[in-house]
Amino acid sequence: MRSVRKIVFRNLTDADFFNINKPRGTEASGGGQAYIDFPVRSISINNWHDFFDGTSALKETEATQGQSWEFPIFSIGVNTDGNTKQELKIYQRRAASVSITSQKIYSNRANRIDAWNPVNKFPKPFDNTDRNQCPEGLIVYLVSTFEGEVWAGWYLNDGTTPLPVDNIEDYEPMAGMLSNAIIEDGHSGMLSFNEGEIALDISSIETPFILQKTTEETKSVTIADNGGVDDSIDEEEIDQLFDKDIGKTKPIVTEEIVKVRKRNSKIVKELKKLYKHKCQVTGDEFAFNKKNGVGYTEAHHLIPLGDGGYDRPENLVILNPLVHKWFHYADIEDINLNNIKHLDDGSAELDIVVNKETYTIYWHAQHADLFKDK
């Protein structure tokens, strides 16, 4: 385990993904872009100085175009012994950006970070001559630790793939990196943490970030016999909350690790396109657009994967995030897909009851066709 100090991250664009994966000879004019840019409007030069502060074996120089940093880079889930490493160079390529160099994989000068190499589970294009192959919400990041190391990793922030933490609800300090609602192509930023706040499990690609929870005893909300919440007030316990000595004892730190399933982001991406980023239940109602102008939606498994459901189109619906919460937390009667009604135009619909009110799930004809023989 390492203690996370700072994180810099970037949501890759189709152009980023294409340029670092394209085969030789794709560009008639030459090799093309071989780097990943971080705009200084999001991560300033001073931010980068802070990021590298205390990094072991750091070589920092100032060239004509700006700052340059050379340092050992470790890869989460790859360099699990904590010893194997690469040497990486990051420099201010132009006034507007800082660049990670030599990331084009098919190049004589390639120095693709191990964590971002397809041989180590990093996404790769189905067709590396297609400029629109980047998986939705592909985030690459670097972690500076209090131990003086820099680690690289990645994850998918596509609204359906589990995020790289053990419990997203506890990770408010990481919201700027993990919130799907604000992530858009090219989005980047830097996060800072106190020592001991977030741990880094260098062996886990799926769940590397672990909140360091305390085990101090606190009063829990209890469930009454009638199924309601017991919110009765104990005046003495309320007074204790404001005791000046509370919290002075050193907390006991525990670690929690969970395993998560990787989801099929390509299916989700195509379904969202099919529905033009609109909800299958409410359409444009309750909708909002992301900063790039595209409607924000999420994919929901009708039969949860943990209950034997499949990560396939016939088990997925595209929903507005509010409606998605209905499916998880509201009182919904059993959904029987055998009752789907197929319409003359090839589309389909199914009535569902949410909190005793009737709503309808609508399926596009292409999507509905998967249910015709069921």
What phi and psi, each to the nearest 5 degrees, are found at residue 165?
Answer: -135, 165
CA distance 52 to 49: 5
Q: Is the pTM of this model over 0.75?
A: no
- List pLDDT tens digits, range 240-280: 555 555 555 555 554 544 444 445 567 888 889 899 999 99
Radius of gyration of the chain (CA): 24
Helix (H, G, I), strand (E, B) or coil at 99: strand
What phi and psi, each to the nearest 5 degrees, are found at residue 96?
Answer: -90, -5
Please state which CATH number belongs to domain 2-211: 2.40.330
**Angle, CA 320 vertex, CA 325 and CA 294 arms, to 5°:** 145
Is-contact 46 123, C-beta < 8 A? no
Mean pLDDT lowest among 58-67, 126-135, 233-242? 233-242
- List pLDDT tens digits, range 274-316: 999 999 999 988 888 888 888 899 888 888 765 666 778 888 9
Helix (H, G, I), strand (E, B) or coil at 138: strand
Which pLDDT value is given to residue 227?
A: 41
List of residues 6+ apart from 259 with CB closer than 8 A: 206, 207
Mean predicted confidence (pLDDT) in 112-128: 89
Nearest to 36 by CA among 109, 89, 73, 108: 89
Q: Positive or negative CA dihedral for 53, 57, 63, 68?
A: negative
Helix (H, G, I), strand (E, B) or coil at 338: helix
The domain limits of the chain are 2-211, 265-371
Nearest to 139 by CA among 161, 165, 157: 157
